Amino acid sequence: MTQPRITDSHCHLDFPDFDETRADVITRAVNAGVHRMVTICTRLRHEPQVRAIAEAHAPVFYAAGTHPMSAAEEPMATVDQLVDLARHPKFVGIGETGLDYHYTADSAELQKTSLRIHIEAAQETGLPLIIHARDADDDMAAILTEGYKAQPYGCVMHCFSSGEGLAKAALDLGFYLSMSGIAAFPKSGALRDIFAAAPLDRILVETDSPYLAPPPYRGKRNEPAYSIHTAKVGAELFGLDYAGFAQATEANFDRLFAKACAWKAAA
């Protein structure tokens, strides 16, 4: 029987946690059925290193942006800069960007400016926006909606762990919610309810590795292979077997990350 294939739509393979084992981590993922990974650059000055990982490993694609928690420390991105990076054949998304008021509320205005720049780059390139949101639900919903009304764009709410209001706002715009290991934590019942109420055709799976390992690896370094454990929880939520859920999330990824899908078809 053929092993179901899934995609880890968000990981950080450039982080030092993987420096000694990066090739092995990618191989383990592929052996587990995780046939694609999108590794995310969170500071644009690190883009060359992240790009090199995607170029060196066929299953790996990448995206780049300025993480909201770094907005005050990094030079402000420009739309032209992001559009130029997007010309690379394995560059498949804009971000991660967003708003995070949990630890970095003092840079809220800079974060908003950065977010709007990334939205414009997503609109110009046609690539999906990759959003990080924490403790900023109202502002996030307002800015995403404002941008979408000006010119539609695709978007995934990465590692979604916000409230029902932001989930509804995102889904109403046609955006996607991505399940991370948080959705598999025992105390995440309310979050699982939000995912279970969402349309199946708007769900993605990710690790956000090296963070947020799902059970049975919670507390350890996360890696793309472990996305299968989150996907199994997702399958239960939607009353599907693992193969059915994997097939659905693959179709969702291909629809949103059409450039990655086309690269695979052309390779």
pLDDT of residue 14: 97
**Residues contacting 30, CB < 8 A, separation 6+:** 59
Cβ(207)–Cβ(233) under 8 Å? no
Q: How much of the chain, in percent, has pLDDT values that exceed 90?
A: 97
**Residues contacting 3, CB < 8 A, separation 6+:** 33
Q: Looking at the predicted structure, is the pLDDT value of residue 265 above 90?
A: no
- Packing angle between helix 137-150 and helix 108-125, nearest 10 degrees? 30
187 by Cβ neighbours in 10 Å (0-12 / 13-18 / 19+) ranks as exposed
Domain count for the chain, please give it: 1
Any domain includes 1? no
**Residues contacting 83, CB < 8 A, separation 6+:** 121, 124, 125
For the chain, count helices (H), then strands (E).
Answer: 10, 8
DSSP 209: T
Q: Compute the average pLDDT of residues 117-129.
A: 98
Q: Looking at the predicted structure, is the pLDDT value of residue 142 above 60?
A: yes
**Residues contacting 43, CB < 8 A, separation 6+:** 66, 67, 70, 74
194: domain CATH number is 3.20.20.140
d(CA 237, CA 240): 8
Q: Looking at the predicted structure, is the pLDDT value of residue 267 above 60?
A: no
Nearest to 38 by CA among 266, 253, 191, 265: 253
Q: Compute the average pLDDT of residues 114-118.
A: 98
Any domain includes 222? yes
Does residue 203 sit in helix, strand or coil?
strand
Q: Looking at the predicted structure, is the pLDDT value of residue 4 above 90?
A: yes
d(CA 148, CA 256): 15
Element (H, E) at 224: none
Nearest to 263 by CA among 11, 42, 84, 55: 55
Print the domain residue range for 16: 6-266
Summarised one tens digit per residue, pLDDT across range 151-164 is 999 999 999 999 99
Tokens of 229: 């454990």
Summarised one tens digit per residue, pLDDT across range 182-227 is 999 999 999 999 999 999 999 999 999 999 999 999 999 999 999 9
91-100 and 34-41 as β-strands: parallel, antiparallel, unpaired?
unpaired
Nearest to 182 by CA among 10, 29, 59: 10
Summarised one tens digit per residue, pLDDT across range 7-55 is 999 999 999 999 999 999 999 999 999 999 999 999 999 999 999 999 9
Q: Compute the average pLDDT of residues 223-241.
A: 98
Q: Report residue 103's pLDDT band, with 50, 70 and 90 as the boundaries.
A: very high
Summarised one tens digit per residue, pLDDT across range 55-79 is 999 999 999 999 999 999 999 999 9
